Amino acid sequence: MEIIEFNQTRALLYEKAMTKYPNARVRDLSAMLEHLEPNKSDRILGFGEGNGYFCQSIANRVGVSGKYLVTDPSNYQLAHLVSRLSLPQVEIKQIGVEGLSVEPSSFDKVWSFGAFHHSSNKAEAMKRIYSALDYGGKMVVCDVFQGSVLAKHFDDVVAKYCVTGHDVEFLSNDSAKYLCKQAGFKDSNIQIIDLPQKWLFRSESGLGEFIYQLHALTNLPGNMAGKISQTVDSCRNILGVESVGAFYELNWPMSALIAYK
């Protein structure tokens, strides 16, 4: 039986984190705008959109003359998204990336943020992305990559303490390029760039609470205060936290796999 990773508890904690700290990920929004470049009338397919952090912004950019298909396999994540997003240019579907079934060549852009690693069939997923893209279309897959301190955070902390575990395989630069080529992208049309993301918090305890909730680290031992202080410690030790002006900046290093059909 397929297990929904983002079950009710995990989706509820994800929603709590994102609604209590709505500005923590503003630089992710900037990275999305810079690399996806959503424009008026674009036809965009998003997978693993979760509870919809990026969706309003993308939907506004494409406008009513555009089309935006928002997907995620978790009905619990989508329930939160649906409650906020109702626009004529938006269609919402409960499906994983490897199960995407859309008209071939019907999108200008396909994108995701922090979701591709969840796919249990990455080769099939990439083939479906390639098929969905129109000729000249752009894929932007922002994710955690092997060898980064972020991958270590997931493998050392999230896998151990998350309510659903975190049994995934991250892309490496080589495996990402291989998947793209297998799906049909030309070598010269594939690039991988660093996304040196930072997440911003007013306090270290806020940082701890956000990460605790976002990753549903309910299996950490101790009471709530202890769980949050262990989360802060592991963030400091593995990811790095820097005090800059009024903010604590949490290092969140990702990569973007960009390819044109």
Ligand X SMILES: C[S@@+](CC[C@H](N)C(=O)[O-])C[C@H]1O[C@@H](n2cnc3c(N)ncnc32)[C@H](O)[C@@H]1O
Are residues 74 and 34 in contact, defined by beta-carbon separation less than 8 angstroms? no
> Quick one: 27 or 229, whose CB is closer to ligand X?
27
Buried b (16+ CB within 10 A) or exposed e, 73-105: bbebbbebbeeebeeebbebbeebbbbbebeee
**Beta carbon of residue 11, minimum distance to ligand X (angstroms, whole number):** 8
Give the chain's radius of gyration (CA, Å).
18
Distance CA 252, CA 150 (A): 6
> Quick one: 144 or 192, whose CB is closer to ligand X?
144
> Quick one: 75 or 105, whose CB is closer to ligand X?
75
> Quick one: 164 or 172, whose CB is closer to ligand X?
164
**Beta carbon of residue 159, minimum distance to ligand X (angstroms, whole number):** 14
> Quick one: 152 or 226, whose CB is closer to ligand X?
152
Q: Which value, to the nearest 10 degrees, does the dihedral of the CA atoms of residues 88, 112, 108, 123 take?
A: -130
**Beta carbon of residue 148, minimum distance to ligand X (angstroms, whole number):** 15
**Beta carbon of residue 222, minimum distance to ligand X (angstroms, whole number):** 25
**Beta carbon of residue 218, minimum distance to ligand X (angstroms, whole number):** 16
**Beta carbon of residue 63, minimum distance to ligand X (angstroms, whole number):** 22
Name residue 92's beta-bridge partners.
Answer: 70
Interacting residues with ligand X (CB under 6 A): 5-6, 47-50, 53, 72-74, 77, 96-98, 113-115, 118-119
Angle at 183 between CA 177 and CA 184, to 5 degrees: 95
184-192: list long-range contacts, CB under 8 Å, 24+ apart.
184/127, 184/130, 184/261, 185/130, 185/139, 185/259, 185/260, 185/261, 189/259, 189/260, 189/261, 190/257, 190/258, 190/259, 191/257, 191/258, 191/259, 192/145, 192/255, 192/256, 192/257, 192/258
**Beta carbon of residue 39, minimum distance to ligand X (angstroms, whole number):** 20
> Quick one: 101 or 188, whose CB is closer to ligand X?
101
> Quick one: 37 or 167, whose CB is closer to ligand X?
167
Angle at 52 between CA 64 and CA 87, to 5 degrees: 25
